[in-house]
Amino acid sequence: MIGRVFEERYEVINRVGVGGMAEVYLAHDGHLGRDVALKVLLSKYAGDPQFIERFRREASAAAGLNHPNIVQIYDRGEAEGTYYISMEYLQGRSLKEIIQNYAPLRSDHVIMVASQILEALGFAHRKDVIHRDVKPQNIIVDDEGRVKVTDFGIARAGSASTMTEVGSILGTAHYLSPEQAQGETATAASDLYSLGVVMYEMVTGRLPFKGDNPVAIAIQHVHEPPVPPSQLVSGVPEGLERVILRALAKNPAERYTSAQDFLRDLNRVQEGREVSPAPAFSDQATRVMSGVGGPVSPLEATQVRRTGRSPAPPPEFHEAEPRRGGRWVPWVLLVVFLLVLAGGAYAVVHFMGRDTNTAEVPNLIGLTLEQAKEEAAKVGLRVVQGGASEMSTKYEKDQIVRQDPEEGAKLESGATIKVWISAGKKTASVPNVVGKQQSEAVLAIENAGFQADVRPEASTDTPVDQVMRQEPTGDNEAPVGSKIVIYVSSGPPAGQVEVPNVVGKTEEAAIAELQKAKLIAKVQPVVSDRPKGIVVNQSPKAKLPVAEQSFVTIEVSSGPQMAVVPSVLGLTKEQAQARIESAGLVARITEETAAGYAPGLVYRQNPGPNQQVERGSVVNAFVAKEEATTSTLPPTTLPTTSTTQPTTTLSNEAGE
């Protein structure tokens, strides 16, 4: 596929992801001269109408959603015996990758990301489009912190009939709403529930519900209340926890009524204002599943076991593996059967006590291998290393970075838990951000793979919002994901203010700005070639710290200095030049023939006497000279005409 050109337009550069029904390539659009992501339906599905329809639906659903937080669809078509979608190529990381490397995330980062997702979902919902598969793998954060929601592959119009797609439902069980788990129609509230799961994972670094298999997880979405995030991680703001738990309400009617309402409460949390408590957990939402099927024996309950996990495709393009052939009804019946079986198993375990032949997997993350073996032995399980040690952004050398199965899963006594050990923290070069503005510094730090810890500090010599120093310093190596502390100027200490720059402003504007800064303006008029009323200088200079109510002298232009033109009529050129220069003006003396005027004297001037002009202006004085005489030549000689040109003398002040 690499190097092939689709429809004489899209040249495939390399493969960037693969999902259950499509591969995604980086391609270059030769017509518009830009890089695009080319999503190509796998050849084995190219002849199946069901998958072609789903593929087309993805393009149609997203193509009508032109929003800065939704991935843009450019084109779709059929070529090379298959179907493709051309879409915006995103430079960044999936939110899932960010959670895995940096969670728990700071509350302000959680709000920033969630707010942009809500902007996207709110726009889609107003267009009557339900995403139905909101999860961190389908959310991309680019290098500048912008969030994009992608993969509308199973999106449907809100008014469309329910479509049961087993692969899709089971593939995203961790983020599934209770009503979707029960086979009901997904609504806007379903998307908001899934976002609640994503926010829970960002805040705690853990999913609210985990289980041995997708069906077990779906049952918990319907039956079990989530553990409040504050019980898992310290420092979670109460308001943010309330927002998350409201989004995770089992009953859609108890969640937010719209993305706008959800966003409104997030803004209240960010502003430090109160939000309403989340509704109390009610088991009313379990009515559909709790009434399905009859009792199941303990022997049958132990038959619901964890299934093996295969490696996931790249996060941005993760999709459930589609199922081929046949009508969808048998698959729905199969799901119902599994739910009945799993629901019965759940009831037996919950109400009759845990089977003595099973054990619950403990959390081994962060322990050493020896500590993990001791911990597992307490519940009758074994621990083995699952593979080679791997670099980590979070855990020190020899600590466990992941385990399989995860905490909370049920295993038969004597079963084995696989763990992976940290080979040490991955390091990277720390960028030097001293002297940068806070926003620019934070972006550089996060782009380098670190977290920025901003600490304001008063300063009398560093402008507000500029980084004064950092720890560790630039160009040192530090573990990826670690915090880089930057000390940012908050301006002068209490009681001091920074002098604003008012040079170039009008007198009125300068006085107003100084008053706003709690300073007093002292106006001093000065002669200047700047327009009248403009501030040409100030003291103290801008950005210097001074005490509140200090005087700031502003020099305001009164315009250029003026001079009165003296009369030089009847003077000799020497007298005229001296008188003009004594008035602060520049003399330009011109001698020219003037009939009827006394030679050697000024007979006219420009400008005229007593006019006001700027100092340094030129005054023209015209001196009369004798008329030239004409000689009579012999008749045999051709006549010649002698013309005397005026002569001009400019005094030195003119600069000529």
Tens digit of each residue's pLDDT (9 = 90 or more) over 329-385: 444 444 544 554 455 444 433 433 444 577 888 999 889 999 999 999 999 999 998
Q: Which residues pair with 23 in a beta bridge?
A: 18, 40
1-89 matches 93-288 in fold:
no
- Alpha carbon 515 to chain centroid distance? 36
Q: What is the DSSP letter of 461?
A: S
Superfamily of domain 93-288: Transferase(Phosphotransferase) domain 1 (1.10.510.10)
**Is a pLDDT exceeding 60 seen at residue 428?**
yes
Average pLDDT over residues 14-24: 76
CATH number of the structural domain 358-425 = 3.30.10.20
Phi, psi angle pair for 142, to nearest 5°: -80, 180
Per-residue pLDDT, 656: 40
| Burial tier of 286 (Cβ tally within 10 Å: 0-12, 13-18, 19+) | middle
Which of 591, 582, 593 lies closest to 615 in space, CA to CA? 582
SS3 state of residue 555? strand
**Exposure string for 413-448, b = 16+ CB within 10 A, e = fewer:** eebebebbbbeebbeeebbebeebebeebbbbbbeb
What is the spatial distance between Cα 62 and Cα 155, in angstroms, rounded to a whole number? 9
Instruction: Name the least confident of 50-54, 162-166, 364-368, 505-509.
Output: 162-166
Give the pLDDT score at 125. Answer: 93
**Domains in the chain: boundaries:** 1-89, 93-288, 358-425, 428-489, 496-557, 562-654
Looking at per-residue pLDDT, the higher value among 545 and 169 belongs to: 545
Going by the DSSP 8-state scheme, the letter that residue 201 receives in this structure is H
Q: How far is CA 549 from CA 464, 502, 536, in A?
A: 20, 16, 22
- What lies within 8 Å, CB to CB, of 248 at 6+ separation is 193, 196, 197, 200, 208, 226, 255, 278
- Report whether CATH 3.30.10.20 matches the domain 496-557: yes
Structure tokens at 78: 């059929």
pLDDT at 634: 54
Q: Which amino acid is at 539?
A: S
Strands across the sheet with 551-557, in order? 520-526, 551-557, 535-539
pLDDT for residue 330 = 44
**Which of the following is catalytic: 29, 75, 133, 191?**
133
CB count within 10 Å of CB 561 equals: 12
Query: What pLDDT does 335 receive?
Result: 52
Please report the pLDDT score of residue 323 as a whole number: 38
Angle among Cα 296, 298, 304 to the nearest 5 degrees reads 80
Q: Across residues 602-630, what is the average pLDDT?
A: 88
So what's the pLDDT on residue 618? 95
Provide the phi-psi class of 128: left if phi over 0, else alpha when psi is between -120 and 50, else beta. Answer: left
Q: Contact 498/491 with Cβ under 8 angstroms?
A: yes
> What pLDDT does residue 338 have?
54
Nearest CA-CA partner of 195 in 251, 146, 269, 246: 246
Among the CATH numbers 3.30.70.20, 3.30.70.270, 3.40.50.2300, 3.30.10.20, which is that of 562-654?
Answer: 3.30.10.20
Lowest-pLDDT range, 210-214, 498-502, 564-568?
A: 210-214
Of the pLDDT bands very low, low, confident and very high (cuts 50, 70, 90), residue 523 is very high
Let me know how many helices (H) and strands (E) the chain has, helices first: 16, 33
Domain 1-89 classification at class level: alpha beta
Whether 602 has a pLDDT exceeding 70, the answer reads yes
Q: What is the 3-state secondary structure (H, E, C) of 315-372?
A: HHHCCCCCCCCCCCHHHHHHHHHHHHHHHHHHHHHHHHCCCCCEEECCCCCCCCHHHH
Specify which of 148-152, 378-382, 403-407 reaches the highest per-range mean pLDDT. 378-382
- Given this model, what pLDDT does residue 107 score? 92
CA-nearest of 586, 594, 593 to 566 is: 586
Chosen CATH of 428-489 out of 3.40.50.2300, 3.40.50.1820, 3.30.1330.200, 3.30.10.20: 3.30.10.20
- Is 212 labeled as catalytic in the residue annotation? no
